[in-house]
Amino acid sequence: MELINTIYEMKQWSKERQNNSIAFVPTMGFLHIGHVTLLEHAKKIADKSVLSIYVNPSQFRPGEDLDKYPRDMEGDLKKAKNAGTDCVFIPDSNEIYPENYQTWIEVMELQKGLCGDSRPGHFKGVATIVCKLFNIVRPDFAIFGEKDFQQLAIIRQMVADLNMDIKIIGHPTIREENGLAFSSRNAYLTEKQRFDIAPNIYKTLLQALNIIKNGEKQAVNVENFIIKGLSVFKEFKIDYIFIGNKFTLKKTDIIDNNTIIAIAVWLGNTRLIDNAQLCSE
């Protein structure tokens, strides 16, 4: 497995392999089983797999967890190696955002609502870094987890709008046995939060899907059902519940097969997101 720190070397690496297909997994590190699954998938679908590890400052707002975002480079490299990753790109912020940096990507409609409302500017940072990484790594495929559903929709739109020849692959969320979606931010949770309380987010989403399957079509009733279900756990503070179209990310009143339920919940100082959809792609 090769480790690369500079943009020049990363571009060279990809150029030298232009006859190979490249699958790319961009991450902010602190890899968990979800990331490892993406890396294993990358290995399966392309000749070469590339992982990037970069905690992108431009997607954090002042006061968010940029400084305390969990890091474990040694552990990450071991996991990447075990997953058969061919190359790890670990760029330096001074090179990614040099002093006179001025260019930003915004996916205007899809960045609105959901996490976009709670974290203004977040998706501008995400779209920009992903676009830059795509230009540097030049992958044929890029793989993202479906837990960050709005992020995935935004990246798909950006790739289409900017005519990038990259196939974006969404990978189903990997969960702990108790249903909690794997996330680097789970590291912030106490044992009790992680094992007793947080799993109730997905449990409640599944119950909501169940009432929909049993005939409930009114989004407002499903939203109230989720609010009621989560209110049993006083530790939760709901940031948003979104019930809407999974392609346009517009809210719906009447639920149909394209509906996704996405949720963000505060548990103590940790913000957790998850989603569930009626029909997966």
Q: Is 28 in the site for ligand PAF (CB under 6 A)?
A: yes
**CB 59, min distance to ligand PAF, A:** 6
Residue 63 burial class via C-beta count within 10 angstroms: exposed 0-12, middle 13-18, buried 19 and up? exposed
Q: Which residue is associated with the tokens 């571009």?
A: 11
CB 52 within 8 A of CB 27: yes
Which among 35, 41, 122, 171 is annotated as catalytic?
35
Residue 124 corresponds to which tokens in the numbers above? 């501008």
Q: Dihedral through CA 177, CA 181, CA 184, CA 188, nearest 10?
A: -80
Pairing of strands 259-267, 270-277: antiparallel
**CB 221, min distance to ligand PAF, A:** 32
Reduce the DSSP state of residue 218 to 3 states and report it: strand
Judged by beta carbon, residue 150 or residue 193, the one nearer ligand PAF is: 150
Element (H, E) at 27: strand 22-27
**CB 218, min distance to ligand PAF, A:** 33
41 tagged catalytic: no
Pairing of strands 141-145, 22-27: parallel
Judged by beta carbon, residue 137 or residue 243, the one nearer ligand PAF is: 137
Judged by beta carbon, residue 59 or residue 200, the one nearer ligand PAF is: 59
Q: Determine which residue in the list 27, 49, 157, 183 makes contact with ligand PAF, applying CB under 6 A.
A: 27
Measured distance between the N- and C-terminal CA atoms of the chain, rounded to whole angstroms: 33
- How many residues bind ligand PAF (CB under 6 A)? The answer is 10
C-beta neighbour count of 95 within 10 angstroms: 12
Pairing of strands 48-53, 22-27: parallel
Q: Determine which residue in the list 126, 197, 198, 230 makes contact with ligand PAF, applying CB under 6 A.
A: 126
Judged by beta carbon, residue 131 or residue 267, the one nearer ligand PAF is: 131
Q: Determine which residue in the list 10, 130, 201, 243 makes contact with ligand PAF, applying CB under 6 A.
A: 130
**CB 184, min distance to ligand PAF, A:** 8
Q: Is 31 in the site for ligand PAF (CB under 6 A)?
A: no
Kindly list the residues in this chain that would bind ligand PAF in the complex (CB under 6 A): 26-28, 56, 59, 126, 129-130, 148, 151
Task: Indicate which residues carry an active-site annotation.
Answer: 35
